[in-house]
A and B are shown apart, each in its own frame.
Chain A
Amino acid sequence: MESRFRVLFLIVAMIGLSGCAATKNLFGFGPDETPPPMAEGPGQVVDPEVERREIKEARIDRENWEVGVFGGIMSVEDWQSNVSYGARLAYHLTEGFFVEGTVGRTETGKTSFEILSGGAELLTDDERILTYYNVNVGYNILPGEVFIGEGRAFNTNVYLIAGMGSTRFAGDDRFTVNFGAGYRFLMNDWMALHIDFRDHLFDIDVLGEEKTAHNLEGHLGFTMFF
C-alpha cells in the first residue's frame, strides 16, 4: 500500500515538474518576450490601403457532418434473423473519404438447440439483446448520378466501409470487426437515403467451442447533412 502511494506521489511530482520545466510562459509566469522594435523601412513611401479580407470558413455554411437513423434486418449466427435499428453519425473528410460511427440494436431469437430441446434456455432475455457500436472509415468508390424521368437527376454514391467496435451479446462485450458496402441516394443538397449491407464478426463460445461468428445486417437509412 505504501509503495503504491509512493509511486503515485512520484507520478504526480513528475507531471508537475515536467509541466513546469517545459512551460516557461505557462500561465504568463515566464519572462516577457517583447519582440524587438520594427526598423522603419526607408523605401516605403506610399502606405498601401489594401486591407486583405479573409473569408473565415465559418461564415460559409459548412455541411460535412451527416447524421441519421436506420432500420433493417440482422442475422445473428445461430440466433436467427431479427429486426435491427440504430443511428449513425459521419464526418466527410474529402469528397472520397469519411469516418463514421454507428450504434445499433437487435433482439435475437433462439438457437435450433433451444427450440428442439423444448425448454433448455441458453440465455436470459437480457442476454438475447444484442447492442453494438463501431467506428468505421468509408470511401465513396462509385460516385454518380441517377435520372428519374427526363428532368430529374440525383447524386448517388456507392461506398465501402470497414472498422471496428464492440458488441454486447450473451452477457459479454465482444471485440467486433465490421465491413460492408452501402448506397447513398441524395434527395437534395442535405437529405439522403441509404441502403447498407454489413458483416459484423466477433468470437463467441456460448455454444461449446469458440468460433468467429458472421452476423450479416442489411438496413435502410435516412440521413441529413449539417
Chain B
Amino acid sequence: MSEHSITTIPSTPRLTDSALALIGCLVAVVLLFILAGPAAYAADKEYRHVAVAEPYLELRSGPGKGYPVFHVIDRGESVDIIKQRTDWYLVRNDRDIEGWVNRAEMELTLQPDGEQLSFQLSTQEEFTNAKWELGLLAGDFGGANSISLYGGYSLNPNVSIEAWGSQILGNSSNGWMASVNVVHEAWPDWRVSPFLTLGAGVIRTEPKSTIVQGEDRTDQLGHVGAGIRFYAGRRFILRAEFKSYVVFTSRDENEEVEEWKVGFGYFF
C-alpha cells in the first residue's frame, strides 16, 4: 500500500493553489461589495419613474407569486423602479413604501409621457440572431463522465465558431480536452434547430494513481458531430449533441471515441 503514494501524479498542489486563488478572489470581490456597495447604492441614483394606469398596482412582500399583497397603489400615483430580480420588480412609492410587482402588472404602467412601458423580452428571434453563447454540458465520453464548458461566437445566423474545454473523469484515467469547432445550423429560425459540427483539438490523458503503469500523454484529435439546440425561453437554450472523435495517438492505431452530452446554454 505504501507504493501507492510513490506512484501518484504529483500535480496536486497546482490545482489546490488555483482553487485557493479563486476562493481568495471571490472573497476579495465580496469584501469589495460589502465596503463599496452601500456607498454606490447611496449615490442618488436615478430610478425609472412610472405612473399606475390600471385601477391599482399590487405590491407584494417578496419576489414570488406566493408572497402576500401588503399594499395597493391607486391609479394616477407613481412609483420608482428600484431593481429587477427574475420577473419581479421592486418599486417604491412617494411615501417610501417598497414592494415587489410582477412583470405583467408592470407593463401596464405608464411613463411620464403617457407611453406604456415595454420591457424588452428575449424572443426566439434573438435566439436565432444572438452573437454570443455560453453553456455547460455533461455526458458520456467513451464510457467516462465528461463535463464541458463552451463559448460560441456567431458569424451569421447559420455559422458559429465555438471553443470547448472538457474534464473527463473515467474509471482508469482522467483527462482534459480543449477543442475548437465550427457549427452549422441549416434552419436557425426553428425553435428546435439541428446542427452539424466539425473541429479539432487536443486531449490530455492522465492514468489514475492506483494504476501503476501508464504515463500522462497529450494527443491531437479531430471530431465530427451533430446535435440540436432548443430555445427554452428568455435567453436560455437546451442543447444535446453527439460527437465522434479520432484521437491521433503516438501508437500504431488511432483511437476512436464517441461522446454524447446534454446541457444548457445562455445567449447574449
A: which residues have CB within 8 A of B?
4, 7-8, 11-12, 14-15, 18-19, 22-23, 25-26, 50-57, 59-64, 67-69, 85-87, 89, 92-95, 99, 103, 105, 120-124, 126-127, 129, 131, 133, 135, 140, 143-145, 153, 155, 164-166, 168, 170-175, 189-190, 203, 205-206, 222, 224-226
Q: Is the CB of A67 within 8 A of B115?
A: no
B213 within 8 A of A: no
Other contacts beyond A4-B220, A25-B156, A95-B88: 14, CB < 8 A? A7-B248, A15-B182, A60-B81, A67-B30, A85-B23, A89-B26, A93-B86, A103-B23, A135-B147, A143-B62, A143-B67, A153-B61, A171-B209, A189-B83
B119→A55 contact, CB < 8 A: yes
**The one of A57, A121, A165, A173 that contacts B174, using a Cβ cutoff of 8 Å:** A173
Known: A56-B120, A224-B37. A7 touches B222 (CB 8 A): yes
Contact, CB under 8 Å: B5 / A123: yes
Inter-chain CA distance A2–B148, complex, in Å, is: 31
Binds A, one of B14-22, B51-59, B71-79: B14-22
Using known A-B contacts A86-B23, A168-B12, A172-B209, determine if residue A122 contacts B4 with beta carbons closer than 8 Å.
yes
In the bound assembly, the distance between CA atoms of A12 and B20 in angstroms comes to: 39
Residue total for B at the interface (Cβ-Cβ under 8 A):
75
Residues facing A in B1-46 (CB within 8 A) are 1-2, 4-5, 8-9, 12-13, 15-16, 19-20, 22-23, 26-27, 29-30, 33-34, 37, 45
A-side binding surface: helix, strand, loop or mixed?
Answer: mixed
Chain B contacts with A in 166-184, Cβ cutoff 8 A: 167, 169, 171, 174, 182, 184
Q: Residue B237 at the A interface, CB < 8 A?
A: no
In the assembled complex, the CB of A140 is this many whole angstroms from the nearest CB of chain B, namely 8
By the criterion CB–CB under 8 Å, are B86 and A64 in contact? yes
B84–A60 contact, CB under 8 A? yes
5 contacts between A and B (CB under 8 A): A7-B222, A11-B199, A86-B23, A164-B145, A175-B169
Give Cα A205 to B227, complex, Å. Answer: 36
| CB 8 Å contact bits of B83-97 with A (1 = contact, 0 = none) | 111111110000000
Interfacial chain A residues near B62, Cβ < 8 Å: 143, 145, 155
Q: Is B123 an interface residue (CB 8 A)?
A: no
> Which of B5, B82, B86, B147 is A122 in contact with, Cβ under 8 Å?
B5
- Cα(A217)–Cα(B94), bound, Å: 47
Beta-carbon contact of A53 and B65 below 8 Å: no
Q: Is the CB of A145 within 8 A of B67?
A: yes
- Chain B residues whose C-beta falls within 8 Å of the C-beta of A143 in the assembled complex: 62, 64, 66-67
**Given known A67-B26, A126-B12, A143-B67, contact A224–B33 (CB-CB < 8 A):** yes
- Does B101 have its Cβ within 8 Å of any Cβ on chain A? no
